[in-house]
Amino acid sequence: MSVLTDQKGLTKTREVIATFGRKEVQPDPAWELDFAASLKEKNSLQQLHEFYSRHREGEADFDYLMRRVLVRAMCKHAGHALQVGPGVVFKHLETMEFGDAVFIGAQAMIQGRFDGNCRIGNHVWIGPQAYFDARALELCDYVGWGPGAKLLGSTHTAEPADVPIIATSLVIKPVVIGYGADVGMNASILPGVRVGANAIVGAGAVVTQDVADFAIVAGVPAKFLRSRLAE
């Protein structure tokens, strides 16, 4: 750990060892996996959603356990050590899969589509109040997603012009966030964008075009600043 202090000896900046990204995954107990499988077998998807709603806002250990169990019962696949914070909302969980050691912060929303697909890889950290239009989405392993950051995967055609835009056809464009990329707080990723591996998207950026591997982008609209490989 590195610590910088001012002339009065007060701490100004600290550098500490990362914990989430380095955490060793501990397998969930067998009884928990069996419990999720039993719930899935004996209940409809609607019933499972109702069970989830009972524990969605709770902050007790039991609520965290039940959210993890019920997400596993409803989704395509859930790895070990999933953490789902209070107030997290899912739509069409049956189209989603989660890797090992995924963290989803409080009040995040992941909205899929009945015929869509959403894959969230291993060791992905999603900050509180994040939003995902997850109709065709892949977050690769070790992605960091800042609090309040948003992703859109679809847009209306706005044609013909004399029809209300919200009534025109919806175009779904896949979005991919590459391995090890970091998306800053309150950033927005627009439909069809691919953020490259190990890239950094600055806080509040609006990303309208693909981002290269190891690139740093920021601004509205986001512009290339430099490559991390050149640092």
Tokens 């600290």 belong to: 14
Residue that is written with structure tokens 């190891």 in the block: 214
CB-CB contact of 88 with 132 (8 Å): no
Q: What does each of the 231 residues of the chain score in pLDDT, given as a tens digit?
A: 555 556 666 667 888 888 888 888 999 999 999 999 999 999 999 999 999 999 999 999 999 999 999 999 999 999 999 999 999 999 999 999 999 999 999 999 999 999 999 999 999 999 999 999 999 999 999 999 999 999 999 999 999 999 999 999 999 999 999 999 999 999 999 999 999 999 999 999 999 999 999 999 999 999 999 999 976
Residue 143's pLDDT is what? 98
Non-local (6+) Cβ contacts of 198 within 8 A are: 178, 179, 180, 181, 213, 214, 228
What is the DSSP-derived secondary structure letter of residue 211? B
Distance CA 63, CA 52 (A): 9
Cβ 55 vs Cβ 74: under 8 Å: no
- Residues 6+ positions from 221 with CB-CB distance below 8 Å: 206, 207, 208, 209
Tell me the domains of the chain and their CATH numbers.
82-230 (2.160.10.10)
Residue type, 79: G
In the numeric block, which tokens belong to residue 84? 């789902």
What pLDDT sits at residue 190? Answer: 97
Structure confidence at residue 22 (pLDDT): 85
Residue 9 is predicted with a pLDDT of 63
Are 140 and 176 a contacting pair, CB within 8 Å? yes
